[in-house]
């Protein structure tokens, strides 16, 4: 059988990794796929390093649209990133009847509904395993491996940069700003780290996971996002004293009222396997009604780990391209016509346990005031810790773990606590999940 | 589209779990698969509990061959277990042009080559996700999700009974026999526990994993098997003192000399995520050249976790049954015509680090004798521990961790050590893997 001709858009980190993997493992890949897979045409603003990537003899262009419009190309691999140009290229490729593989989480999270509708109309596949958790085949696990289950919830460490920062903060007692600066030097964090540390990148990925878990359209704008930039070394240390670790989690959960879709720093029990996932590694837990708890772990970024997922998608497309378009794995796991309009819950309606930290004047009655405010709103305290500040003075840190409560209630309670004369400054509030 | 008609062979634990999942999640499954999946005919020696399993109105028989011969049945699900009858039924189903889903690891490990050849000839699919690690979609991860990789090695906790016993031994300092008896009462271990505790069940699964990782035929008879029945509480405790945990691992590794395929108790560093996989849970690590280290965790047995994998396979078959038979995922991950004849290494040729425990008369010169014997065979000592026995006396336990050495060398050294007058009884020898 003739090799499949792939067009590659982008020769940056992931584009380079994809080219390297396809060329180094060409023989093994052909033994699996039953035919060769070759990059026939590649486009990038700078193509001067193409030969280093094993792309000697491959047609090159500085205009990605040349690849998309090329009649010989059967699969377009979009590794440019960003929304606008990437979207135009992907839609045009679909329009030209080509299958698409992409690692672009922002594109899928924001424009996936439109892209998948166009692909279905044309009978082509848009594959996006690399968009979530890099090399971990978690899209495949949720869409296919757990297809027998009613998924109850999933929770993931899906941003390596944030996890690296939180790990360093815990291991070395360092501050967020200090570790971030080092991560930028090491290349683990971008010059503009907002997407990573403020949870936006994780929210893109979580939006995709939530859709394929629950069979709802992609709704990035409904995803609650809170980053790690306000986490202090004290919070990390107090959490440890209470038996918890702080991780930036993406959480999607099905409740009777609707779907929770949220990214925020979360205290999780140290004994949970996922609590030991450190550094830049990613990990996703998926809870199904039949299978129970499952977990997937690996590298969530990097040239070859992401290339691994891109190439696996290409192989899947090669296998499915001769099949009946109506009998393929649906883009969002459920047949497009059966996607549900289950509402995404506003964060104020979400119920979780909470970690509260407040600084109080060390005088009688403060604790009574705080517990009364919580008790009035039926918020029970699960654990309590009072710490002297590092330097001598008249203020103490009070730390509490509460039982589960609707966030709206908690917000009211915190506002009331902050009104107390004996409480200094704002109350720090983090969510707690047992993941059981 | 009309529902797909499935024939179910066996209504035991897994058969029951499969029927329950298919019936409870029928709507969600149809939303994914694009058509309904119904059990149309079920066979078991005892069918009296069929109604409880949601099988009211389903045709029932006490003769499994009735289902296999039924012209309406498109997919035969074999959940009887064992080799002989199961083999006849599966081959006959294939012969009748039916697709097959099975959870039978023994059948696949021993007769898979013959079964897959027959299936290829008939253009039908034999799916077996449930045969390895129950509900964890690890076959799918290795065959499809990591298809871009040259797999370097994999290592798994793939027998829940053994892992439960080792976990209890570690947590409570209990003996193997004691915990086994309890596990039998709890239903975690069979009345005849040999398959589980002597590593045979794990070896069936490892044989399958090795084939799909490296593209070689199934070779159960070449798999080295050593169980956990000789592990003592002392070994568990000494391993902990050295920073290790003892797990029954199935390990498959590609080396320049050939493929290692082995199941044995193994010391692994406590810091490895897989070292924290406790109780009846399963976990498989897979190392690919592009993706690096990945890990898959979940329930390896039980009615619904295994049913989850069986039903996922049924859905996969439903999707693939209309596709070109030559363009499907190959049974053993690689096209049948490209399977390699890479030799499986005899265990004496396998190189690992070792844990040695010996009881010695407490007199000068013993250690010098032992280290000389090791040194003569170029075996370096990595760590050393000397422990007084619990009761006073003139004998001491000597524990050593060695560097990596060919097992043949180690066997010779141990034989020589056991000849020493100052060494009492046999030397205990366990393998050590860092899994890096």
Q: What is the pLDDT of residues A26-43, one digit of tens each?
A: 999 999 999 999 999 999
Residue A159 lies in a domain: yes
Q: A138-155: per-residue pLDDT in tens? A: 999 999 999 999 999 999
Length of chain A: 436
**Can you name the residues that pair with B269 across neighbouring β-strands?**
B244
Residue A38 lies in a domain: yes
**Residue B324 touches partner A, C-beta closer than 8 Å:** yes
Q: Is B279 marked as binding a ligand?
A: no
Is residue B275 located within the same domain as residue B377? no
CB within 8 Å of chain A, chain B residues 214-273 = 215, 273
Say if the Cβ atoms of A21 and B290 lie within 8 Å.
yes
C-beta of residue A162 within 8 angstroms of C-beta of residue A206: no
Instruction: List the single residue in B276, B295, B305 with the smallest CB-CB distance to A291.
Output: B305
Q: Residue A340 pLDDT > 80, yes or no?
A: yes
In a domain, B343, yes or no: no
Between CA B156 and CA B285 the distance in angstroms is 6
pLDDT tens-digit map of A162-177: 999 999 999 999 999 9
Structure tokens at A293: 């708890």
Q: Hey, are the CB atoms on B136 and A294 less than 8 Å from each other?
A: yes
Contact flag B31-A135 (C-beta cutoff 8 Å): no
Task: Please check whether residue A91 lies inside any domain of the structure.
Answer: yes
The number of distinct structural domains making up chain A is 3
Asked whether residue B121 is domain-assigned, the answer is yes
CB contact under 8 A, B295 and A297: yes
A116 with A129, same domain: the answer is: yes
3-state secondary structure chain A: CCCEEEEEECCCHHHHHHHHHHHHCHHHHHHHHCCCEEEEEEECCCCCCCHHHCCCCCEEECCHHHHHCCCCCCEEEECCCCCHHHHHHHHHHHHCCCEEEECCHHHHHHHHHHHHHHHHHHCCCEECHHHCCCCCCHHHHHHHHCCCCCEEEEEEECCHHHHHHHHHHHHHCCCHHHHHHHHHHHCCCCCCCHHHHCCHHHHHHHHHHHHHHHCCCCCHHHCEECCCCCCCHHHHHHHHHCCEEEEEEEEEEECCCCEEEEEEEEEEECCCHHHHCCCCEEEEEEEECCCEEEEEEEECCCHHHHHHHHHHHHHHHHHHCCCCHHHCCCCCCCCHHHCCCCCECCHHHCEEEEEEEEEEECCCCHHHHHHHHHHHCCCCEEEEEEECCCCCCCEEEEEEEECCEEHHHHHHHHHHHHHCCCEEEEEEEEEECCCC
> What local confidence, expressed as pLDDT, does residue B391 receive?
63
Q: Quick check: A259 and A342 in contact, CB under 8 A? A: yes
Average pLDDT over residues A380-393: 78
Residues B272 and B239 in one domain: yes
User: Measured between CB atoms, does A177 come within 8 Å of chain B?
Assistant: no
Residue A306 pLDDT > 90: yes
The question of whether A205 is a catalytic residue gets the answer yes
A131 and A11 housed in the same domain: yes
Same domain, B295 and B146: yes
The domain spanning residue B325 has which CATH number? 3.40.50.720
Ligand-binding annotation for B11, yes or no, is yes
- The answer to whether residue A304 scores a pLDDT higher than 70 is yes
A409 CB neighbour count, 10 Å cutoff? 16
B13 touches chain A (CB under 8 A): no
- The residue from B5, B205, B247, B363 that is catalytic is B205
User: Which positions in chain B touch A316 (Cβ < 8 Å)?
Assistant: 144, 147
**A371 assigned to some structural domain:** yes
| Residues of chain A with C-beta less than 8 angstroms from the C-beta of B22 | 148
Range of the domain at B424: 348-432
> B245 with B147, same domain?
yes
Contact A140 B135 (CB under 8 A): no
Asked if B323 lies within 8 A of A326 by C-beta distance, the reply is no
Rounded distance, CA A170 to CA A250, Å? 20
Looking at CA atoms only, how far is residue A123 from chain B in angstroms?
15
B25 to chain A: which residues are within 8 Å by CB? 148-150, 289-290
- From B135, B273, B323, residue closest to A273, measured CB to CB: B273
Tens-digit pLDDT string for chain B (436 aa): 899 999 999 999 999 999 999 999 999 999 999 999 999 999 999 999 999 998 988 999 999 999 999 999 999 999 999 989 999 999 999 999 999 999 999 999 999 999 999 999 999 999 999 999 999 999 999 999 999 999 999 999 999 999 999 999 999 999 999 999 998 998 888 888 999 999 999 999 999 999 999 999 999 999 999 999 999 999 999 999 999 999 999 999 999 999 999 999 999 999 999 999 999 999 999 999 999 999 999 999 999 999 999 999 999 999 999 888 889 999 999 999 999 999 999 999 999 999 999 999 988 888 999 999 999 999 999 999 987 766 666 789 999 999 999 999 999 999 999 999 999 999 999 999 999 9
> Does residue B366 sit within a domain?
yes
pLDDT in tens, A237-293: 999 999 999 999 999 999 999 999 999 999 999 999 999 999 999 999 999 999 999
Residues in A touching B295 (Cβ below 8 Å): 295-298
In CATH, what number is assigned to the domain containing residue A360? 3.30.70.260
User: Is there a binding annotation on residue B391?
Assistant: no
Q: Among residues 279-318 of chain A, which lie with CB inside 8 Å of chain B?
A: 288-299, 304-305, 307-312, 315-316, 318
% of chain A at pLDDT higher than 90: 92
Residues B417 and B366: their CA atoms lie apart, in Å, by 10
The whole-number average pLDDT for the span A365-372 is 93
Tens digit of each residue's pLDDT (9 = 90 or more) over A195-233: 999 999 999 999 999 999 999 999 999 999 999 999 999
Token readout for A142 is 């949720």
Do A130 and A157 have their domain in common? no
- Residues in chain A within 8 Å Cβ distance of B305: 290-292
ipTM of this predicted structure: 0.97
- Average pLDDT of span A85-107: 98
Residue A262 sits in the same domain as residue A410 = no
Q: What CATH number corresponds to the domain at position B145?
A: 3.30.360.10
- For every residue of B37-51, DSSP letters joined together read EEEEEEE-S--TTTG
- Chains A, B: CB contacts under 8 A, how many? 227
Query: Starting from the edge strand earliest in sequence, which strands make up the sheet with B99-102, in order?
Result: B59-61, B37-43, B4-9, B75-78, B99-102, B126-127
* pLDDT number for residue A393: 59
Nearest CB to A334: which of B32, B316, B324? B32
Average pLDDT for A360-375? 91
β-pairing, A281-288 with B37-43?
unpaired
* B322 part of a folded domain: yes
Residue with tokens 């080799």: B83
Residue B154 assigned ligand-binding role: no
* pLDDT at residue A364, as a whole number: 81
**Whether residue B244 sits in one domain with residue B289:** yes
- B25, B53, B101, B147, best to mutate vs chain A, most A CBs in 10 Å: B147
Say how far apart CA A103 and CA A109 lie, in whole Å. 11
At A389 the pLDDT is 61
Q: Residue B377 to residues A213, B45, B134, B157, B419: CA-CA distances in angstroms?
A: 56, 59, 43, 32, 16
Catalytic residue among A87, A98, A140, A205: A205
Residue A390 has pLDDT above 70, yes or no: no
Q: Say whether both B13 and B64 belong to one domain.
A: yes
pLDDT score at B190: 82
Residues B155 and B199 both lie in one domain: yes
Whether residue A147 sits in one domain with residue A131: no
Please name the member of A24, A277, A316 whose beta carbon is closest to the beta carbon of B144.
Answer: A316
Burial A60-73 (b: 16+ CB within 10 A, else e): bbeebebbbebeeb
């Amino acid at each position: 059988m003739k090799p499949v001709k792939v067009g590659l858009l982008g020769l940056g980190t992931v584009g380079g990794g994809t080219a390297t993997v396809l060329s180094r493992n060409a023989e093994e890949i052909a033994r699996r796929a039953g035919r060769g897979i070759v990059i026939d045409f590649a486009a990038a603003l700078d193509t001067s390093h193409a030969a280093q990537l094993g792309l000697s003899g491959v047609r090159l262009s500085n205009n990605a649209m040349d690849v998309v419009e090329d009649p010989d190309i059967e699969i377009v691999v979009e590794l440019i990133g960003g929304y606008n140009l990437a979207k135009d290229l992907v839609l045009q490729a679909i329009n030209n009847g080509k299958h698409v593989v992409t690692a672009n989480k922002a594109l899928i999270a924001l424009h996936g509904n439109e892209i998948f509708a166009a692909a279905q109309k044309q009978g082509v596949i848009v594959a996006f395993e690399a968009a979530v958790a890099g090399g971990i085949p978690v899209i495949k696990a949720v869409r296919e491996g757990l297809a027998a289950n009613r998924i109850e919830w999933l929770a993931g460490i899906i941003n390596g940069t944030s996890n690296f920062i939180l790990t360093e903060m815990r291991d070395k007692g360092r501050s967020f700003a200090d570790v971030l600066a080092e991560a930028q030097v090491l290349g683990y964090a971008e010059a503009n780290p907002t997407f990573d540390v403020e949870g936006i990148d994780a929210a893109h990925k979580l939006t995709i996971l939530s859709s394929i878990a629950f069979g709802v359209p992609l709704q990035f704008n409904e995803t609650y996002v809170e980053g790690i930039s306000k986490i202090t070394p004290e919070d990390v240390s107090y959490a440890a004293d209470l038996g918890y670790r702080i991780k930036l989690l993406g959480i999607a959960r099905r409740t009777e009222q609707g779907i929770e879709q949220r990214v925020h720093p979360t205290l999780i029990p140290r004994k949970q396997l996922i609590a030991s996932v450190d550094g830049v590694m990613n990990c996703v837990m998926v809870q199904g009604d039949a299978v129970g708890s499952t977990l997937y772990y690996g590298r969530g970024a990097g040239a070859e780990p992401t290339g691994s997922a891109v190439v696996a998608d290409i192989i899947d497309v090669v296998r499915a391209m001769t099949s009946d378009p109506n009998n393929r794995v649906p883009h969002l796991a459920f047949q497009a016509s059966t996607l549900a309009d289950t509402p995404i819950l506003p964060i104020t309606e979400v119920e979780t346990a909470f970690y509260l930290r407040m600084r109080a004047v060390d005088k009688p009655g403060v604790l009574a005031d705080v517990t009364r405010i919580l008790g009035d709103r039926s918020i029970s305290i699960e654990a309590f810790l009072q710490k002297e500040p590092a330097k001598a003075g008249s203020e103490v840190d009070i730390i509490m773990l509460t039982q589960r409560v609707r966030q709206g209630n908690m917000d009211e309670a915190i506002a009331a606590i902050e009104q107390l004369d004996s409480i200094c400054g704002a109350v720090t509030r983090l969510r707690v999940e047992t993941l059981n």
